[in-house]
């Protein structure tokens, strides 16, 4: 099987226009006859579902939360990029495209990224029209800031709650369609299986998280917008219920999983403080605009930060990267924090933290301005740590935050399984090996508002889609598979909790497949994961019954999928013997310790085909061509 | 390592929405003062699971105070003792060693209990569906800077928009009123030019939906503001009342079912 990305011919800037014109349209009067399933109600899912319903399609929307408004997009803090160039500082579609390709370390598809930059401005227009209260200047114009390694100010923001405000905008649009009857909403419903009929995605099997009832839903197309897999590391900035299950279930049914080893470690999170810890909290990297990152120059310096004189502080990012300073991209900032901690210069009780110091900014622009910019973030920091960040430098450490890998999709955002579309963080397409700050919100909304509504029409207008019924064998078999798995989990009655095993997996992944990866460490993880999986299926204890609200059962099902997925992540990391973006192989670095890419060997997308649990997956490569943004060694010096 | 703390928990246990519930007592020791309240409940659940008992069902997700999923009444206070703090951001250092803590779900007719500490807040979704948005289809927006919005209006709208929809306002109110929740959304939209054209219809429809769900009336106790983890101001309720009155008296298009009539 060869992967066809379906990227249209022609000059980069004309591809999307040309492609849209080439897509066959669905007759407006016929749209209501098409049923589309959307799983997930984050930025990508909610925006897609609302836009599809506005066009006239009949949409069924599923989410595991009690309300679609609670999807994890809500937690995004910093902002959303768009190439509006309102500040007149040299931004353009081409520059946003170029920065994103370069930031992704030349492991993303040019055409997809260019299109993302093209529609970025429309997203801001749309959100403002919805009543999203973006930050404004006294003139009444929208405010912009520079963010996460960008040298232009292209980030729009709503205090430190940009994700929340954008999601509530999309949620409002979605609920408006619920009121019209075009969208049927199924909250607290979890997708357990994808149903494929004659090679096409034609429905899903779900479990009601309230009653435990398992049921099938048919459709002409299935859209997954189910987020990333960061919780395979157990501790991450993801919400507790974020999981890989919908993607993994689709993968088991034939959808290829692309670049799973591309995971992003965010440099500015609150450090781990105890073994009971259930998650890590992100401090928006917008703080790096004003905060200076440092550690003591000497190892094992136990003095309090205020008492360390200027000359004995190492502002290591400013020292090593004079032109970008504290604003280097996330992967670079994270690796450098790890490095100084490895040198014994980490701070705090665990020595696994570095300082992020607002002192100089407070002196320069005043406490009030800092409060206005970051008030709620700093308040959150104080609540969690019990320390006042206006007086004492904050302590931060990298944590798993975002996953660039995901289900493989073509230019239409359709997976290799016809009729299965994948949006947002759940797909692999736009961020390459490293995502730039404020680009996740952009991609989620681009996919949902402005790309899928066109491309899905092209599929529906062309495909032959005979009627399917929930009574037919494919659905019944998928229901049985889901119910059997639940019975099996409940029958084990072992001695370990789901959480305990999840922690064990997470720790292994963080140690061996986290910020720095080596062949030896990866081989260890590869051997260990099947053992943990076996232990899970022998020793886990799942309380309660299947036919009720049962959170332990939910978590067990998701962990079972993580335990299969983790092996693929490690395999992908093992095979990719180069460093790029968030994937740092110790064997592949420059003499200065920077990531060293191997374009001859690895300028491709690694798309994996499932062969069975414990069976070696089959690798398919989609070569990446760079006609416009010529690969160069990333340098932020 | 800081010394562990001891707690006695009295936790509301209820098998399902129709079942009768009661408080069960649990003893916990060796809890880190740096643990969050929900992490302390995780520790309790681990103990329960390992001794073959049903863990306590409670809702949480982001655990950083923004998703609005967690919803516990602690010693009679929605989200516990700290101001401007959701349950998930409350830490055990806030309590005294040896404290007894009562843990209960939101209590309101419109929020029926699903199980133990988990409630059904879909009533809020239905209120939003009635009109908590600007009716703009994808693709039909003008350039984002074509309509200027004074910074002070935008800031006030943002203050209101910060609502996380957790329902603490309802849980804290003796009337189980949803006026702060509705007032926050109505205010956000009324303060912005984008939301202005349909503000009459919006406020009438949302208030009607709110009443239909069985929420109570506001009697100006301000308990909602005190409990709100985002410190949404009761002035949003005043704005809601003003908008409602204005729409009821003046608006033609806004009358329920009055579209085109």
SS (H, E, C) A17-54: HHHHHHCCCCCHHHHHHCEEEEECCCHHHHHHHHHHHH
Listing from the earlier edge strand, what are the strands of the sheet with A200-208?
A189-197, A200-208, A214-218
What CATH number corresponds to the domain at position B213?
Answer: 1.10.1060.10
Beta strands in A225-278 (DSSP E): 257-258, 263-269
The CA distance from A547 to the nearest CA of chain B, in Å, is 12
- Kindly state whether residues B164 and B188 are assigned to the same domain: yes
Q: CB-side exposure of B18: number of CA atoms within 13 Å? A: 2
Residue that terminates a domain, selected from B115, B138, B162? B115
Helix (H, G, I), strand (E, B) or coil at A190: strand
Beta strands in A270-419 (DSSP E): 292-296, 313-314, 354-357, 394-403, 406-407
- Please indicate, yes or no, if residue B258 is contained in any of the structural domains: no
The pLDDT assigned to B261 comes to 32
Nearest to A289 by CA among A121, A85, A438, A397: A438
The C-alpha R_g of chain A, in whole angstroms, comes to: 24
- Kindly state whether residues B111 and B155 are assigned to the same domain: no
Residue that terminates a domain, selected from B98, B115, B132? B115
Q: How many other β-carbons are positioned within 10 Å of the β-carbon of residue A236?
A: 26
- Please indicate, yes or no, if residue B106 is contained in any of the structural domains: yes
- Please indicate, yes or no, if residue B73 is contained in any of the structural domains: yes
Provide the Cα torsion A193, A197, A203, A204; round to 10°. -10
Please indicate whether, in this complex, the C-beta atoms of A549 and B135 are within 8 angstroms of each other: no
In this structure, chain A runs to a length of 637
Please indicate whether, in this complex, the C-beta atoms of B154 and A135 are within 8 angstroms of each other: yes
What CATH number corresponds to the domain at position B53?
Answer: 3.10.20.30
The C-alpha R_g of chain B, in whole angstroms, comes to: 21
The pLDDT assigned to B260 comes to 36
**DSSP per-residue letters across chain B:** -PPPEEEEEEEEE-SSTTS--EEEEEEEEEE-TTSBHHHHHHHHHHHHHHTT-PPPP---SSSSSSS----EEETTEET-SSTT--GGG-BGGGSPTT-EEEEEE---TTS-EEETTEE--HHHHHHHHHH-S----TT-PPPTTSS---HHHHHHHHHHHT-----HHHHH-TT-B-HHHHHHHHHHHHHSTTTGGGHHHHHHHHHHHHHHTT-B---S--HHHHH-TT---THHHHHHHHHHHHHHHH-STTSTT-TT-
As a whole number of angstroms, the distance between CA A283 and CA A393 comes to: 13
Query: Chain A contacts of B138, Cβ < 8 Å?
Result: 47, 50-51, 54, 126, 173, 449-450, 453
The pLDDT assigned to B253 comes to 54
Cα end-to-end span (Å), chain B? 70
Residue that terminates a domain, selected from B90, B115, B140? B115
A276 has a chain B CB within 8 A of its CB: yes
Query: Chain A contacts of B145, Cβ < 8 Å?
Result: 86, 141-142
Yes or no: say if A286 and A160 are a contact pair by the CB < 8 Å rule.
yes
The pLDDT assigned to A285 comes to 82
Q: At what angle do helices A519-539 and A551-575 cross, to 10 degrees?
A: 160
Q: CB-side exposure of A635: number of CA atoms within 13 Å? A: 6
Helix (H) or strand (E) holding A566: helix A551-575
The pLDDT assigned to A150 comes to 81
Yes or no: say if A162 and A76 are a contact pair by the CB < 8 Å rule.
yes
Residues 6+ positions from A461 with CB-CB distance below 8 Å: A23, A24, A25, A26
Which domains does chain A possess? 267-399 (3.90.700.10), 473-598 (1.20.58.100)
Residues 6+ positions from A176 with CB-CB distance below 8 Å: A50, B129, B133, B135
CB-closest option in A131, A158, A179 to B130: A179
Q: How many other β-carbons are positioned within 10 Å of the β-carbon of residue A205?
A: 25
As a whole number of angstroms, the distance between CA A112 and CA A385 comes to: 41
- Kindly state whether residues B154 and B245 are assigned to the same domain: yes
- Kindly state whether residues B158 and B233 are assigned to the same domain: yes
- Kindly state whether residues B209 and B149 are assigned to the same domain: yes
Nearest to A341 by CA among A295, A408, A374, A389: A295
What DSSP state is assigned to residue A450?
I
The CA distance from B101 to the nearest CA of chain A, in Å, is 20
- Kindly state whether residues B40 and B55 are assigned to the same domain: yes
Yes or no: say if A72 and A242 are a contact pair by the CB < 8 Å rule.
yes
From the candidates B138, B141, B160, B206, which should be mutated to test the interface with A, based on the most A CB atoms within 10 A? Answer: B138
Distances (CA, A) of B160 to A299, A341, B147, B154: 48, 42, 20, 10
Q: At what angle do helices A551-575 and A245-252 cross, to 10 degrees?
A: 60
B36 has a chain A CB within 8 A of its CB: yes
Burial A485-514 (b: 16+ CB within 10 A, else e): bbeebbebeeebbbbbbbbbbbebbbebbb
Residues 6+ positions from A124 with CB-CB distance below 8 Å: A80, A82, A84, A134, A142, A156, B144
Distances (CA, A) of B105 to A437, B84, B126: 38, 19, 21
- Could you tell me the sign of the dihedral formed by the alpha carbons of B233, B235, B238, B240, in that order? negative
- Kindly state whether residues B129 and B228 are assigned to the same domain: yes
- Kindly state whether residues B143 and B91 are assigned to the same domain: no
From the candidates B133, B158, B185, B195, which should be mutated to test the interface with A, based on the most A CB atoms within 10 A? Answer: B133
Nearest to B161 by CA among B225, B236, B220, B222: B236
- Kindly state whether residues B18 and B93 are assigned to the same domain: yes
- Please indicate, yes or no, if residue B150 is contained in any of the structural domains: yes
Cα end-to-end span (Å), chain A? 43
What DSSP state is assigned to residue A143?
P
Query: Chain A contacts of B122, Cβ < 8 Å?
Result: 66-67, 187
As a whole number of angstroms, the distance between CA A95 and CA B117 comes to: 50
Yes or no: say if A176 and B201 are a contact pair by the CB < 8 Å rule.
no
Nearest to A237 by CA among A376, A443, A78: A78
The pLDDT assigned to B179 comes to 98
As a whole number of angstroms, the distance between CA A134 and CA A127 comes to: 9
- Please indicate, yes or no, if residue B257 is contained in any of the structural domains: no
Range of the structural domain that residue B36 is part of: 5-115
Yes or no: say if A164 and A171 are a contact pair by the CB < 8 Å rule.
no
Q: How many other β-carbons are positioned within 10 Å of the β-carbon of residue A151?
A: 14
Please indicate whether, in this complex, the C-beta atoms of A449 and B121 are within 8 angstroms of each other: no
Please indicate whether, in this complex, the C-beta atoms of A130 and B134 are within 8 angstroms of each other: yes
As a whole number of angstroms, the distance between CA B79 and CA B73 comes to: 6
- Kindly state whether residues B108 and B190 are assigned to the same domain: no
Yes or no: say if A440 and A36 are a contact pair by the CB < 8 Å rule.
no
- Please indicate, yes or no, if residue B157 is contained in any of the structural domains: yes
Helix (H, G, I), strand (E, B) or coil at A514: coil
Which stretches of chain A drop beneath a pLDDT of 70?
Answer: 1, 149
Domain tally, chain B: 2
The CA distance from A224 to the nearest CA of chain B, in Å, is 20
The pLDDT assigned to B119 comes to 98
The pLDDT assigned to B254 comes to 45
- Please indicate, yes or no, if residue B179 is contained in any of the structural domains: yes
The pLDDT assigned to A147 comes to 83
As a whole number of angstroms, the distance between CA A533 and CA A513 comes to: 17
Q: How many other β-carbons are positioned within 10 Å of the β-carbon of residue A587?
A: 12
Helix (H) or strand (E) holding A218: strand A214-218
Which stretches of chain B drop beneath a pLDDT of 70?
Answer: 1, 251-261
- Kindly state whether residues B158 and B64 are assigned to the same domain: no
Provide the Cα torsion A120, A126, A127, A131; round to 10°. 160
- Could you tell me the sign of the dihedral formed by the alpha carbons of A366, A371, A377, A382, in that order? positive
- Kindly state whether residues B93 and B174 are assigned to the same domain: no
Between positions 89 and 148 of B, the ones with CB within 8 A of A are: 89-91, 93, 114-115, 118, 120-122, 124-125, 128-130, 132-145, 147-148
Write the pLDDT tens digit of every residue in A74-94: 999 889 999 999 999 999 999
Exposed/middle/buried for B175, CB within 10 Å: 0-12, 13-18, 19+? middle
- Could you tell me the sign of the dihedral formed by the alpha carbons of A232, A237, A239, A244, in that order? negative
Closest chain A residue by Cα to residue B117:
A549
Helix (H, G, I), strand (E, B) or coil at A270: coil
- Please indicate, yes or no, if residue B89 is contained in any of the structural domains: yes
Yes or no: say if A609 and A617 are a contact pair by the CB < 8 Å rule.
yes
């Amino acid at each position: 099987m060869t992967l066809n990305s379906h990227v249209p011919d022609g000059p980069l800037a004309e591809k999307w226009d040309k492609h849209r014109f080439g897509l066959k349209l669905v007759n407006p009067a016929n749209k209501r006859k098409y049923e589309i399933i959307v799983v997930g109600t984050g930025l990508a899912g909610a925006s897609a579902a609302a836009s599809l319903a506005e066009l006239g399609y009949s949409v069924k929307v599923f989410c595991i939360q009690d309300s679609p408004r609670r999807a994890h997009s809500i937690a995004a803090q910093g902002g959303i990029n768009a190439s509006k160039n309102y500040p007149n500082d040299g931004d353009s579609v081409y520059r946003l495209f170029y920065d994103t390709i370069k930031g992704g370390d030349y492991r993303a598809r040019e055409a997809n990224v260019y299109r993302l930059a093209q529609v970025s401005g429309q997203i801001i227009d749309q959100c403002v029209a919805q009543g999203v209260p973006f930050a404004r200047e006294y003139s009444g114009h929208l405010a912009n800031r520079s963010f996460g390694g960008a040298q232009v100010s292209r980030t729009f923001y709503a205090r430190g709650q940009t994700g929340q405000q954008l999601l509530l905008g999309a949620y409002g649009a979605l609920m408006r369609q619920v009121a019209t009857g075009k969208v049927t909403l199924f909250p607290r419903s979890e997708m357990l299986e994808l149903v494929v009929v004659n090679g096409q995605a034609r429905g899903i099997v779900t479990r009601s998280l309230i009653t435990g009832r398992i049921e099938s839903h048919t459709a002409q197309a299935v859209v997954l917008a189910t987020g990333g897999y960061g919780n395979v590391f157990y501790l991450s900035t993801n919400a507790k219920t974020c999981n890989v299950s919908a993607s993994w279930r689709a993968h088991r049914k034939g959808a290829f999983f692309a670049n799973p080893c591309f995971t992003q470690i965010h440099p500015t999170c609150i450090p781990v403080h105890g073994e009971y810890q259930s998650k890590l909290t992100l401090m928006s990297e917008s703080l790096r605009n004003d905060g200076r990152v440092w550690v003591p120059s000497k190892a094992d310096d136990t003095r309090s930060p205020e008492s360390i004189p200027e000359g004995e502080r190492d502002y290591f990012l400013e020292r090593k990267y004079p032109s970008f300073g504290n604003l280097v991209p996330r992967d670079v900032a994270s690796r450098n924090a790890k490095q100084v901690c490895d040198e014994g210069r980490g701070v705090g009780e665990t020595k696994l933290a570095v300082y992020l110091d607002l002192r100089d900014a407070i002196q320069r622009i005043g406490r009030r301005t800092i409060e206005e910019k970051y008030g709620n973030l700093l308040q959150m920091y104080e609540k969690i740590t019990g320390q006042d960040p206006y007086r004492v430098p904050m302590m931060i450490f990298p944590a798993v935050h975002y996953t660039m890998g995901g289900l493989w999709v073509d230019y239409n955002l359709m997976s290799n399984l016809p009729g299965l579309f994948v949006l947002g963080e759940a797909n692999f397409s736009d961020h390459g090996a490293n995502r730039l700050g404020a680009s996740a919100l952009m991609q989620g909304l681009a996919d949902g508002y402005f790309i899928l509504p066109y491309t899905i029409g092209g599929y529906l207008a062309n495909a032959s889609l005979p009627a399917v019924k929930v009574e037919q064998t494919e659905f019944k078999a998928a229901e049985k598979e889901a119910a059997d798995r639940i019975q099996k989990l409940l029958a084990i009655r072992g001695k370990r909790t789901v959480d305990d095993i999840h922690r064990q997996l997470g720790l292994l992944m963080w140690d061996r497949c986290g910020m720095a990866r080596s062949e030896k460490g990866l081989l260890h993880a590869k051997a260990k994961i099947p053992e943990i999986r076996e232990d899970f299926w022998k020793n886990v204890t799942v309380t309660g019954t299947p036919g009720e609200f049962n959170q332990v059962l939910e978590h067990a099902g998701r962990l079972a999928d993580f335990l299969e997925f983790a092996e693929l992540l490690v395999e992908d990391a093992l095979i990719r013997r180069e460093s790029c973006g968030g994937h740092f192989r110790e064997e592949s670095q420059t003499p200065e310790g920077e990531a060293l890419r191997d374009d001859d060997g690895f300028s491709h997308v690694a798309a994996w085909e499932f062969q069975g649990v414990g069976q070696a997956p089959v690798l398919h490569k989609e070569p990446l061509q760079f006609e416009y943004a010529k690969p160069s060694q990333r340098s932020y010096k | 390592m800081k010394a562990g703390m001891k707690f006695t928990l009295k936790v509301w246990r209820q098998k399902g929405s129709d079942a009768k519930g009661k408080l069960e007592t649990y003893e916990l020791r060796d809890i880190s003062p740096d643990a969050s309240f929900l992490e302390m409940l995780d520790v309790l659940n681990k103990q329960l699971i390992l001794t073959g008992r049903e863990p306590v069902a409670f809702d949480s997700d982001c655990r950083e105070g923004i998703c609005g999923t967690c919803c516990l009444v602690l010693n009679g206070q929605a989200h516990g003792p700290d101001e401007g703090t959701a349950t998930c951001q409350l830490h055990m250092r806030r309590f005294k060693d040896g404290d007894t803590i009562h843990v209960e779900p939101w209590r309101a007719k419109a929020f029926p209990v699903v199980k133990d500490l988990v409630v059904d807040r879909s009533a809020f979704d239905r209120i939003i569906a009635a009109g908590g948005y600007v009716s703009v289809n994808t693709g039909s927006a003008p350039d984002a800077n074509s309509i200027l919005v004074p910074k002070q209006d935008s800031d006030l709208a943002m203050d209101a928009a910060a609502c996380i929809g957790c329902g603490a306002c309802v849980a804290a109110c003796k009337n189980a009123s949803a006026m702060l929740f509705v007032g926050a959304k109505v205010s956000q939209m009324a303060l912005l030019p984008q939301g202005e054209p349909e503000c009459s219809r919006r406020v009438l429809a949302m208030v009607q939906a709110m009443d239909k769900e069985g929420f109570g009336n506001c009697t100006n106790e301000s308990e909602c503001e005190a409990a709100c983890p985002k410190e949404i101001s009761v002035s949003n309720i005043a704005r809601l009342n003003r908008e409602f009155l204005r729409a009821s008296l003046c608006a033609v298009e806004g009358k329920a079912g009055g579209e085109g009539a």
